[in-house]
A and B are shown apart, each in its own frame.
Chain A
Amino acid sequence: MNVVETSGLGKRYGRTWALHECALAIPAGHVTALVGPNGAGKTTLLNLAVGLAEPSAGAVTVLGGVPAGSPAALDGIAFVAQDAPVYKNLSAGDMLHVTGNLNHRFDRAYAQDRLAELGIPLKQKAGRMSGGQQAQLALTLALARRPRLLVLDEPVAMLDPIARHDFMATVLAAAADGVSVLLSSHVLAELERVADYLILLSKGRVQVAGQVEDLLAAHRMLSGPAGEADRYADRPVVHVRRGEAQAHLLVRAGAQNPVPDGWEAHPVGLEELVLAYLREPGAAALPGPARGRGATMTEVAR
């Protein structure tokens, strides 16, 4: 089952396309990280997936073919928007009650236990909580709905490192319980720890999509003499970093591919990989037999 599936999905605000020709299939059972520079269309994609926005083109379905925003979709997806909006004049206990009333399923015992664990008194007004507590409250409300898909828009952007760590631990615990998670984030270091599926958006288009494991296995960093870097112009090079003597090439090649003489191959990390693609908006790595490998590559070194 795909928790989110889009085809030809586009969203236009005025004359600019925030998202264009977006084709995605995010399988269930993953923690999917949605990354990309500001204005790449991350929030737009999430809003479309949770039914807050209507597509200008194409279609988006969720939870295995249910139209986004339909009653069945709303029932199975919990969303925490950017800055974790909660009613500031309501107490944590009231927020539990409101959320419980607005949904079929609501695990009040779970929510109360979690708030107790977090040290958030039920009587405390949301407006008087720290940013971290507010985010945790919003996440608790979302998880107590027992969703099949949890969608988080920049959940940790406003949090300090400890709050960020605690928040992500909760998300991971939920994922371990079988909740699919889709989250957008700027914080690359965090993703390495939590995400096992990656989507990289750039200028409203999908640049990279796939399981983290596969993506890492399919890329290597080659280091060798700077003068020889041009020899790889015909290779699927994603990004070149030239030093005085050495050049570092992030290439699409697995461990089985031969390493040229005088060059060294290193495995890449997720952060490194994402940075390389972010720096080369023209490069793409997309799954699917329909797209030929060569077509998705760019020539970087000349």
Chain B
Amino acid sequence: MTALTVPARAERDVSPRPVPWRRMAWVTWRQHRIALAGVAALLGAFAVYLELSGLQMHHAYAALIACHPADSTACQDAGALFTGSYGIKGVIAAILLQAVPALIGAFIGAPVLGREMETGTFRYAWTQGFGRWRWALAKLVLLAAVVTAAAGAFSLLFSWYVQPLFAVGYTIPFTPMVFDLRGVAFAAWTLAAFAIGALAGMLIRRVVPAIAATLAGYAGLAFAAGLFLRQYYTTPLVTNKPDLPGSAWAVSQWYAKDGKFAFPARGSQLVDAVMQLCHGGTGRGPGISGPGSPAQCLTQHGYTLWTNYQPGSRFWPFQWIEGGWLLALSVLLIAVTIWLVRRRAA
């Protein structure tokens, strides 16, 4: 029997210098160029459409504001025609754009690690001299930077595109449909979607389920933020004036009587109150606020309509708050992903 070999001393206990970070740039580009090209093509086609359609809309808007006198029937008709034809285009563009971060998360974020895990190539990648967590960090940061920058540039284009629709009052910057497509929010949502995708790929280790999980996770987060979270970024202002500034975002409305909360200005309690108080004639008015309308009826009965709102001047603070927490979330998700890469057993 052989004797146990004497354990050799470690050869000079110097760790080799790490392989330079910049080497990952080419590797990342080479591996993901098809996906990146896909995103570039998608955003590029979109950009061309927005550019052409936007130029048309800006021309039409220039003609509209040149219309004189502004309160003439002809000008009013031109205004209606403008919102009629360009408003719907804006809505469609916004809906399509809402899908862009989700698609980037699903088709760039999810496969980054998901495909390596699914095909077993992580066993190749993680045993190269570069080191596995450095490899993951370099890849994720590079790709995240590229998609975030692309989204940021794109949101500038959309901001320009949508200006006339704000100017004619068709929509306001706070509208959930457009708020997260402008400013820093669009780039931040894209980054977050990418980070969600990367983590999903690492956790699920299969590309297609990871894509599905990314779409679901992103959609859930985006809806939750738009419906429940955004309105509380700062304490809303309160007013009992019936007319809000045009750019303000009414968060909630309720009726109060004798300085006390009565019922929310929506839903079954409002309907019950109107049925009860305004029964017979007065409750059957043509509009909600005109003479003989339920609103007027309630006012007659001593109820006041109060509104919680976020003024339009808070647009940028809100953008930075949303961008800030999304950035923090993305950094956290990417850090968790890299931690998983680091400790995950083969």
- Beyond A50-B127, A98-B30, A138-B124, 12 additional pairs, beta carbon < 8 A: A11-B345, A28-B8, A65-B7, A83-B120, A86-B124, A87-B121, A97-B26, A102-B125, A102-B128, A102-B130, A104-B19, A214-B2
* Known contacts A88-B119, A104-B129; A71 and B26 CB within 8 A of each other: no
Name B128's contact: one of A5, A54, A65, A99 (CB within 8 Å).
Answer: A99
Name A81's contact: one of B16, B19, B123, B130 (CB within 8 Å).
Answer: B123
* Known contacts A74-B131, A214-B1, A218-B1; A66 and B123 CB within 8 A of each other: no
Which chain A residues numbered 1 to 56 have a C-beta less than 8 Å away from chain B? 1-2, 5, 11, 25, 27-28, 47, 50-54
Name B31's contact: one of A78, A98, A104 (CB within 8 Å).
Answer: A98
- Count chain A CB atoms within 10 A of each CB in B10, B27, B34, B123 and give the residue with the most: B123
Closest chain A residue, CB of each to CB of B5: A27
A290 to B290, CA, bound (A): 100
Closest chain A residue, CB of each to CB of B22: A101
- Count chain B CB atoms within 10 A of each CB in A85, A88, A99, A289 and give the residue with the most: A85
A6 to B109, CA, bound (A): 38
Name A71's contact: one of B8, B11, B16 (CB within 8 Å).
Answer: B16
B10 in contact with A64 (CB, 8 Å): yes
B19 in contact with A102 (CB, 8 Å): yes
A77 in contact with B127 (CB, 8 Å): yes
Residues of the A chain whose Cβ atoms lie less than 8 Å from the Cβ of B177: none
Contact sample, A vs B, 20 pairs, CB 8 Å cutoff: A2-B7, A25-B5, A27-B5, A54-B345, A64-B8, A64-B9, A64-B11, A65-B8, A71-B129, A72-B14, A74-B129, A78-B127, A85-B119, A89-B34, A94-B30, A98-B31, A99-B128, A103-B129, A104-B129, A210-B2
Q: Which residues in B have some Cβ–Cβ distance to A below 8 Å?
A: 1-5, 7-11, 14-19, 23-24, 26-27, 30-31, 34, 119-121, 123-131, 135, 343, 345-346
Closest chain B residue, CB of each to CB of A285: B1
B127 in contact with A74 (CB, 8 Å): yes
Name A52's contact: one of B9, B27, B123, B129 (CB within 8 Å).
Answer: B123
Which chain A residues numbered 199 to 246 have a C-beta less than 8 Å away from chain B? 210-211, 214, 218
A235 to B30, CA, bound (A): 63
A53 in contact with B346 (CB, 8 Å): yes
Residues of the B chain whose Cβ atoms lie less than 8 Å from the Cβ of A273: none
Residues of the B chain whose Cβ atoms lie less than 8 Å from the Cβ of A289: 3-4
Closest chain A residue, CB of each to CB of B12: A72
A174 at the interface (CB under 8 A from B): no
A5 in contact with B7 (CB, 8 Å): yes
B123 in contact with A79 (CB, 8 Å): yes
Smallest beta-carbon distance A151→chain B, Å = 8
A274 to B164, CA, bound (A): 82
Smallest beta-carbon distance A260→chain B, Å = 23
A1 to B31, CA, bound (A): 38
Secondary structure dominating the interface of B: loop
A54 to B340, CA, bound (A): 13
A119 at the interface (CB under 8 A from B): no
A101 in contact with B26 (CB, 8 Å): yes
Name A25's contact: one of B4, B14, B31, B129 (CB within 8 Å).
Answer: B4
A288 at the interface (CB under 8 A from B): yes
Residues of the B chain whose Cβ atoms lie less than 8 Å from the Cβ of A5: 7
Residues of the A chain whose Cβ atoms lie less than 8 Å from the Cβ of B27: 98, 101-102
Residues of the B chain whose Cβ atoms lie less than 8 Å from the Cβ of A77: 127
Interface string of A110-143 (1 = CB under 8 A from B): 0000000000000000000000000000100000
A90 at the interface (CB under 8 A from B): yes
A226 to B124, CA, bound (A): 53
Closest chain A residue, CB of each to CB of B345: A53
Closest chain B residue, CB of each to CB of A289: B3
Name A211's contact: one of B2, B11, B30, B128 (CB within 8 Å).
Answer: B2
A289 to B2, CA, bound (A): 9
A90 to B11, CA, bound (A): 36
A25 in contact with B7 (CB, 8 Å): yes
A24 to B20, CA, bound (A): 35
A295 to B321, CA, bound (A): 71
Residues of the B chain whose Cβ atoms lie less than 8 Å from the Cβ of A145: 129
Residues of the A chain whose Cβ atoms lie less than 8 Å from the Cβ of B18: 71
A289 to B3, CA, bound (A): 7
B126 in contact with A52 (CB, 8 Å): yes
A287 in contact with B2 (CB, 8 Å): yes
B24 in contact with A101 (CB, 8 Å): yes
Residues of the B chain whose Cβ atoms lie less than 8 Å from the Cβ of A101: 19, 23-24, 26-27, 130
A65 in contact with B126 (CB, 8 Å): no
B15 in contact with A71 (CB, 8 Å): yes
Q: Lowest 9 CB-CB distances: which A-B pairs, in order? A: A1-B8, A65-B10, A52-B346, A81-B123, A102-B128, A103-B129, A101-B23, A27-B5, A53-B345
A86 in contact with B121 (CB, 8 Å): yes
Name A85's contact: one of B17, B121, B345 (CB within 8 Å).
Answer: B121
